[in-house]
Structure 1
Amino acid sequence: MIFAFLTVFFILLADQSLKYWILTNFDLYEQKEALSGVFSWFYIQNKGAGWGILDGKIPFLVVISLLVSGYLLYLIIRNRHQKPLVQLAYGLLLGGALGNLIDRLRIGYVVDMFKLEFINFPIFNIADLALALGIILLLLIVLFDNDVEELL
């Protein structure tokens, strides 16, 4: 269980620190090259969810985020004796959910900043990345680990 909470802590620290840096060093829609041909910094305000769905539905997204975060907390506690990879997956998911929830509650939108240069993909942040990695990891565990008890 401690591994999951440490993961949440480090995701939140990295996510909120980078978002603070973006907010204090970039103008809205400002872009700066980071790694040529790979990604650039591009500050946008996301007032919806992934891929711009539910744009402007912040109260609804806050409620959903609170419910999902509560359920993930329950899963972390219930599965506290599971393998470290399971705890890592739950920690990534909870850290990502809380990272974007904090933005919605604090400033009314989510700060996004990573723009991939080699593919047309939505601009995202560390919390989004943590959510995606957590989902992928949990799916791989469910598909390939026969020793894992019921996780959800």
Structure 2
Amino acid sequence: MLILFYIVASFVIIIDQLTKYWIRTYLSVGDTMVVWEGVLNFTHIQNSGAAFGLFEGFGRLFVPVAIIIAIVSIFMLNKGYINGKVLEIGTALFVGGAVGNAIDRILFNQVTDFIHFQFRQGIPNLADYALSFGVVLIFIDSVIVDAIRKRRATEPETEINEKNYDQGR
């Protein structure tokens, strides 16, 4: 299953970097392009902090954190501590987002943000959304899927329960 992790994490990093490159190439800092009137704009800003503009000016501190997260995640995957599709995809999204933003911090000392939904505050990028969605999936696996596993472990063994368990993960 490691291949799923590498595909998802690589996809996030590549798409994140391509979209940021496009924004840096075609929009000057502060410029806005309307994508969907009243809903979505691309507004080019540079963020020297963390995801969603937090910790402004301390972005460089997150580079070693991203590297450690990636190394620990790959180690845990190889050792079998991260198993199941939900947890694996969540971890891949988190790692891909962390590495995508770390690349910007290393190359530019700041992160390119551009996704501006009119109905919410903040201007994140794809890596920020991948990080956030990855955390949600990790939480779902850790709380909900784990509770389902525990419940199934306490149910009496029947042919139906075994069949459902095999199809679940």
Distance 1:41 1:59 in 2: 25
Alignment-derived partner of residue 166 in structure 2: none
Give 1:35 deviation, angstroms.
1.4
Count of residue correspondences: 147
Q: Does the 8 Å contact 1:80/1:87 carry over to 2?
A: no
Please give the alpha-carbon distance, in whole angstroms, between the structure 2 residues aligned to 1:86 and 1:133: 11
Structure ranking higher in helix proportion: 2
Structure 2 counterpart of 1:127, which letter? A
The ranges of structure 1 where at least 4 consecutive aligned residues each deviate by more than 6 angstroms after the TM superposition are none
TM-score normalised over the length of structure 1 = 0.88
SS across alignment from 1:11: helix
Matches of residues 35-114 of structure 1 in structure 2 within 5 Å? 35-79=36-80, 82-114=83-115
Bigger Cα displacement from structure 2, 1-10 vs 46-55: 46-55
Task: Find the residue that maps to 2:149 and give its secondary structure.
Answer: coil
CA distance in 2, matches of 1:20, 1:99: 12
SS in 2 for 1:147: helix
Match of 1:24 in 2: 25
CA distance in 1, matches of 2:141, 2:60: 33
**Gap runs ≥5 in structure 2:** 151-169
Kept in 2: contact 1:75–1:90 (CA 8 A): no
Kindly name which structure, 1 or 2, has the bigger radius of gyration based on alpha carbons. Answer: 2
Q: Match for 1:135: what amino acid? A: V
Q: Secondary structure at the match of 2:56?
A: coil
Equivalent pair of 1:73/1:94 in contact (CA under 8 Å): no
Q: Are 2:125 and 1:129 aligned?
A: no
Q: Distance in 2 between matches of 1:81 and 1:113?
A: 32
Q: Percent identity?
A: 27
Are 1:10 and 2:11 counterparts? yes
Counterpart of 1:7, as a letter, is: V
Mapped partners of 1:141, 1:61: distance in 2 = 25
Give SS of 1:13's match.
Answer: helix
Out of 138, 141, 149, the position equivalent to 1:147 is: 149
**Taking CA–CA contacts closer than 8 Å with sequence separation of 6 or more, which of the two structures ends up with the larger relative contact order?**
1
Partner of 2:138: 138
Provide the rounded CA distance (Å) in 1 between the counterparts of 2:21 and 2:125: 12
User: 2:141 corresponds to which letter in structure 1?
Assistant: I
Task: Say if 2:43 and 2:115, in contact at 8 Å, map to a contact too.
Answer: yes
Structure 1 counterpart of 2:84, which letter? K
